[in-house]
Structure 1
């Protein structure tokens, strides 16, 4: 990659803490996903991405060369040194499975609570997950374009709370898809906007607690995902039947039970695979150590 004034070493230039070899693009998680099909936006050779009407999209995200990654690393180090039990629960909850996993029961509970009819439920599901697909494609295009290293690459002694995924750091996939999901679901369920915002923010922050992302990965990922979400809504609003919009305007508040209190998985599954990068040893709470079984970063994002 040509980078004349790079402000950071590349993801491919440093091993993860506890490993001996640097990651490779070929060995990373889905390095071509940034080229996959999208539904509410289009690929553009000139601009990267464009709207369906051809207008270029200026992505809402900072250039990584404008970021002080070593200052960001200090925040990660401080966070891991002072993790509370609640922060550990949050990190574990949102990291289980792919980032879309925790949004599935949220969407389902909203549809049930508001008694959404079958055709509208299908429309909501397709919009949310189509939008998350597009957000992931944009996120992955940027990850492998910029190749920002993970915190445990800049600090070769950094033990993380969750196993570090095998793909570049910036922006956070969890944050990006959460920003998109928040905005799209708030369009369909405006009365639940505040809770959806809280969930997206917590999902993004969980990656800092896990030690696998810098704070800016999460804040900029949310900003990017929310931008994609707003573009999805632009397209949804164009859909009409007999000259009338498909969506019905409603401000009814039924207080959907979508905020987890116990941080137990709504769809539990036993993800087990050995992690070979350094992990925090915490025998009193979860038995977390470098020999503990964890989610395989090659399988999940």
Structure 2
């Protein structure tokens, strides 16, 4: 009963957030989502490693360790939950983008964005608000594009923050 109730609220919130994007130009939302594809993380890590002497090398080490831990956990969770994406499950719904895989829980873009934001905030606290705002926008973009439910995004956020914290703890 509780699960059905949670699913209903999740679906209702999805529709509330996604509906305004129907038949709209979503290029800005797609662009925001694409900043979470992973290429930007690599560029940031390499630039900091090359040019930022104080924390750059440790930042890159922490990020590489975190992503090496996050990716297998993410894949296991996707295969374990096997939750269909809203664009595949809901009859009156079409996504604005083609998802990279079949399942939605957790949101990988959101997990990666919150992981990166958490590591950035740890090493560069003055950028924390910017980093977390960007991660939140990536998560929101995944809902607006029709490929994730709000709980997928929340689960992705929790996964990213948890793995980042674990990596930072391991590195001391």
Q: Distance in 2 between matches of 1:101 and 1:122?
A: 18
Q: Which has the higher contact order (CA 8 A, sep 6+)?
A: 2
Closer, same or farther: CA 202–135 of 1 in aligned 2, 3 Å: same
Closer, same or farther: CA 228–159 of 1 in aligned 2, 3 Å: same
Q: Distance in 1 between matches of 2:23 and 2:122?
A: 34
Asked if 1:93 is matched to 2:28, the reply is no
Measured after TM superposition, the shift of residue 121 of structure 1 is 2.9
Q: Of 52, 55, 59, which residue of structure 2 is paired with 1:116?
A: 52
Measured after TM superposition, the shift of residue 173 of structure 1 is 0.3
Aligned equivalent of 1:128: 63
Q: Pick the structure with greater CA Rg.
A: 1
Asked if 1:201 is matched to 2:133, the reply is no
Stretch deviating more after TM superposition (169-178 or 100-109): 100-109
Q: Distance in 2 between matches of 1:87 and 1:141?
A: 34
Measured after TM superposition, the shift of residue 234 of structure 1 is 0.6
Q: Pairwise mapping of residues 151-162 of structure 1 onto structure 2 (< 5 A)?
A: 151-162=86-97
Aligned equivalent of 1:247: none
Q: TM-score, normalised by structure 2?
A: 0.83
Between Structure 1 and Structure 2, which shows a larger proportion of helix residues?
2
Q: C-alpha deviations, 1:151-196, integer Å up to 9, x for none?
A: 0232123111111332311110011111211111222112211111
Q: C-alpha deviations, 1:55-106, integer Å up to 9, x for none?
A: xxxxxxxxxx577324322333333321299992443114438721233344
Q: Which runs of 5+ in 1 are unaligned?
A: 8-64, 238-301
Task: Report the aligned-residue RMSD.
Answer: 3.1
Q: Which runs of 5+ in 2 are unaligned?
A: none
- Conserved? CA contact 2:45–2:56, under 8 Å: no
Q: Distance in 2 between matches of 1:183 and 1:168?
A: 25
Q: How many residues align?
A: 172
Between Structure 1 and Structure 2, which shows a larger proportion of strand residues?
1
Aligned equivalent of 1:166: 101
Asked if 1:229 is matched to 2:164, the reply is yes
Asked if 1:74 is matched to 2:12, the reply is yes
